[in-house]
Amino acid sequence: MIYALLFYEFCKIGLLAVGGGLVTVPFLFDLSENYGWFTTRELVDMIAISESTPGPIGVNMATFVGFNTAGVGGALAAVIGLVLPSVVTIIGVAKLMNRYQCNMRVQTMLKGVRPAVVALMIAAGMSIAELALTDMLCGLVFAFLLAAVRMWRHSPIFYLAVAAVIGVALKL
Protein backbone atom coordinates (compact mmCIF):
# COMPACT_ATOMS: atom_id res chain seq x y z
CA MET A 1 0.00 0.00 0.00
CA ILE A 2 1.99 2.91 -1.36
CA TYR A 3 0.00 5.68 0.39
CA ALA A 4 0.45 4.14 3.83
CA LEU A 5 4.16 3.68 3.14
CA LEU A 6 4.59 7.31 2.01
CA PHE A 7 2.65 8.50 5.05
CA TYR A 8 4.78 6.40 7.41
CA GLU A 9 8.11 7.41 5.87
CA PHE A 10 7.29 11.13 5.91
CA CYS A 11 5.95 10.89 9.47
CA LYS A 12 9.38 9.61 10.41
CA ILE A 13 11.01 12.53 8.61
CA GLY A 14 8.67 15.00 10.32
CA LEU A 15 9.64 13.55 13.67
CA LEU A 16 13.40 13.28 13.15
CA ALA A 17 14.39 16.11 10.80
CA VAL A 18 15.27 18.74 13.38
CA GLY A 19 15.61 22.28 12.08
CA GLY A 20 14.68 23.98 8.84
CA GLY A 21 14.03 22.90 5.28
CA LEU A 22 17.17 21.36 3.80
CA VAL A 23 17.85 19.03 6.76
CA THR A 24 15.22 16.69 5.27
CA VAL A 25 17.61 16.03 2.35
CA PRO A 26 19.60 13.16 3.97
CA PHE A 27 16.31 11.40 4.78
CA LEU A 28 15.16 11.74 1.18
CA PHE A 29 18.42 10.14 0.06
CA ASP A 30 17.59 7.16 2.25
CA LEU A 31 14.15 6.95 0.59
CA SER A 32 15.69 6.88 -2.87
CA GLU A 33 18.11 4.13 -1.79
CA ASN A 34 15.59 2.00 0.06
CA TYR A 35 12.63 2.22 -2.32
CA GLY A 36 13.98 3.51 -5.62
CA TRP A 37 11.09 5.98 -5.87
CA PHE A 38 13.35 8.50 -7.58
CA THR A 39 16.98 8.81 -8.70
CA THR A 40 19.58 11.05 -7.07
CA ARG A 41 19.45 13.25 -10.16
CA GLU A 42 15.69 13.70 -9.82
CA LEU A 43 16.18 14.46 -6.14
CA VAL A 44 18.64 17.27 -6.91
CA ASP A 45 16.19 18.77 -9.42
CA MET A 46 13.43 18.55 -6.82
CA ILE A 47 15.61 20.36 -4.28
CA ALA A 48 16.31 23.17 -6.74
CA ILE A 49 12.64 23.53 -7.69
CA SER A 50 11.53 23.41 -4.05
CA GLU A 51 13.94 26.21 -3.18
CA SER A 52 12.63 28.48 -5.89
CA THR A 53 8.86 27.97 -5.57
CA PRO A 54 6.46 29.31 -2.91
CA GLY A 55 6.07 27.43 0.36
CA PRO A 56 8.47 25.99 2.95
CA ILE A 57 11.13 23.77 1.29
CA GLY A 58 10.34 20.72 3.43
CA VAL A 59 6.68 20.75 2.41
CA ASN A 60 7.55 21.35 -1.25
CA MET A 61 9.90 18.38 -1.33
CA ALA A 62 7.38 16.11 0.39
CA THR A 63 4.77 17.13 -2.21
CA PHE A 64 7.20 16.52 -5.05
CA VAL A 65 8.31 13.09 -3.86
CA GLY A 66 4.74 12.01 -3.01
CA PHE A 67 3.33 13.24 -6.32
CA ASN A 68 6.05 11.65 -8.45
CA THR A 69 5.66 8.38 -6.60
CA ALA A 70 1.89 8.04 -6.42
CA GLY A 71 0.09 11.07 -7.90
CA VAL A 72 -2.20 13.43 -6.00
CA GLY A 73 -2.96 10.86 -3.28
CA GLY A 74 0.75 10.31 -2.80
CA ALA A 75 1.40 14.05 -2.43
CA LEU A 76 -1.35 14.30 0.19
CA ALA A 77 -0.12 11.22 2.08
CA ALA A 78 3.47 12.55 2.19
CA VAL A 79 2.51 16.08 3.29
CA ILE A 80 0.06 14.89 5.96
CA GLY A 81 2.73 12.51 7.24
CA LEU A 82 5.30 15.31 7.35
CA VAL A 83 3.16 17.79 9.28
CA LEU A 84 1.41 15.40 11.67
CA PRO A 85 4.26 15.15 14.23
CA SER A 86 4.49 18.97 14.25
CA VAL A 87 0.79 19.49 14.77
CA VAL A 88 0.49 16.89 17.53
CA THR A 89 3.60 18.05 19.42
CA ILE A 90 2.84 21.75 19.21
CA ILE A 91 -0.76 21.32 20.35
CA GLY A 92 0.58 19.28 23.27
CA VAL A 93 3.23 21.87 24.09
CA ALA A 94 0.80 24.77 23.83
CA LYS A 95 -1.63 22.99 26.17
CA LEU A 96 0.91 21.95 28.77
CA MET A 97 3.00 25.07 29.08
CA ASN A 98 1.71 28.37 30.30
CA ARG A 99 5.12 29.94 29.99
CA TYR A 100 6.54 28.88 26.67
CA GLN A 101 9.88 27.29 27.44
CA CYS A 102 11.77 24.34 26.11
CA ASN A 103 12.17 21.36 28.36
CA MET A 104 15.84 21.12 29.45
CA ARG A 105 16.24 17.45 28.53
CA VAL A 106 14.69 17.97 25.12
CA GLN A 107 16.94 20.96 24.59
CA THR A 108 20.05 18.92 25.47
CA MET A 109 19.02 16.17 23.06
CA LEU A 110 18.30 18.54 20.18
CA LYS A 111 21.56 20.38 20.70
CA GLY A 112 23.37 17.03 20.78
CA VAL A 113 21.77 15.94 17.50
CA ARG A 114 23.03 18.98 15.56
CA PRO A 115 26.65 17.79 15.04
CA ALA A 116 25.26 14.53 13.61
CA VAL A 117 23.00 16.57 11.31
CA VAL A 118 26.09 18.35 9.96
CA ALA A 119 27.63 14.94 9.17
CA LEU A 120 24.42 13.77 7.47
CA MET A 121 24.31 16.93 5.36
CA ILE A 122 27.93 16.38 4.30
CA ALA A 123 27.16 12.79 3.29
CA ALA A 124 24.16 13.94 1.25
CA GLY A 125 26.11 16.89 -0.15
CA MET A 126 28.85 14.56 -1.39
CA SER A 127 26.37 12.47 -3.41
CA ILE A 128 24.82 15.62 -4.83
CA ALA A 129 28.22 17.10 -5.72
CA GLU A 130 29.23 13.88 -7.44
CA LEU A 131 26.19 14.20 -9.66
CA ALA A 132 26.14 17.95 -10.26
CA LEU A 133 29.85 18.68 -10.64
CA THR A 134 30.49 16.61 -13.73
CA ASP A 135 33.60 18.38 -15.02
CA MET A 136 36.21 21.05 -14.20
CA LEU A 137 34.00 23.83 -15.54
CA CYS A 138 31.17 22.87 -13.17
CA GLY A 139 33.72 22.78 -10.34
CA LEU A 140 34.85 26.32 -11.15
CA VAL A 141 31.26 27.60 -11.31
CA PHE A 142 30.65 25.91 -7.94
CA ALA A 143 33.67 27.60 -6.34
CA PHE A 144 32.72 30.97 -7.80
CA LEU A 145 29.09 30.77 -6.66
CA LEU A 146 29.99 29.50 -3.19
CA ALA A 147 32.36 32.44 -2.70
CA ALA A 148 29.60 34.78 -3.90
CA VAL A 149 27.01 33.24 -1.55
CA ARG A 150 29.36 33.55 1.43
CA MET A 151 30.22 37.16 0.64
CA TRP A 152 26.90 38.61 -0.46
CA ARG A 153 23.79 37.27 1.20
CA HIS A 154 21.01 37.09 -1.36
CA SER A 155 17.97 34.82 -1.49
CA PRO A 156 18.49 31.21 -2.70
CA ILE A 157 16.29 31.95 -5.75
CA PHE A 158 18.65 34.68 -6.83
CA TYR A 159 21.60 32.28 -6.87
CA LEU A 160 19.64 29.48 -8.54
CA ALA A 161 18.59 31.92 -11.27
CA VAL A 162 22.22 33.00 -11.74
CA ALA A 163 23.23 29.33 -11.88
CA ALA A 164 20.59 28.64 -14.56
CA VAL A 165 21.84 31.56 -16.68
CA ILE A 166 25.44 30.37 -16.31
CA GLY A 167 24.31 26.85 -17.28
CA VAL A 168 22.79 28.08 -20.52
CA ALA A 169 25.64 30.49 -21.28
CA LEU A 170 28.38 27.90 -20.79
CA LYS A 171 26.32 24.95 -22.04
CA LEU A 172 27.08 22.95 -18.90
| Shorter beta-carbon distance to other proteins: residue 4 or 8 | 8
Please check whether residue 15 is in contact with residue 90, taking contact to mean a CB–CB distance below 8 angstroms.
Answer: no
Give least dist CB 36 to other proteins, A. Answer: 15
Residue type, 12: K
Please check whether residue 75 is in contact with residue 66, taking contact to mean a CB–CB distance below 8 angstroms.
Answer: yes
Give least dist CB 20 to other proteins, A. Answer: 4
Give least dist CB 131 to other proteins, A. Answer: 7
Between CA 2 and CA 66 the distance in angstroms is: 10
Question: Cβ neighbours of residue 148 under 8 Å, at least 6 residues apart?
Answer: 159, 162
Give least dist CB 37 to other proteins, A. Answer: 13
| Shorter beta-carbon distance to other proteins: residue 4 or 106 | 106
| Shorter beta-carbon distance to other proteins: residue 1 or 150 | 150
CA 167 from centroid of its chain's CA atoms: 23
| Shorter beta-carbon distance to other proteins: residue 1 or 100 | 100
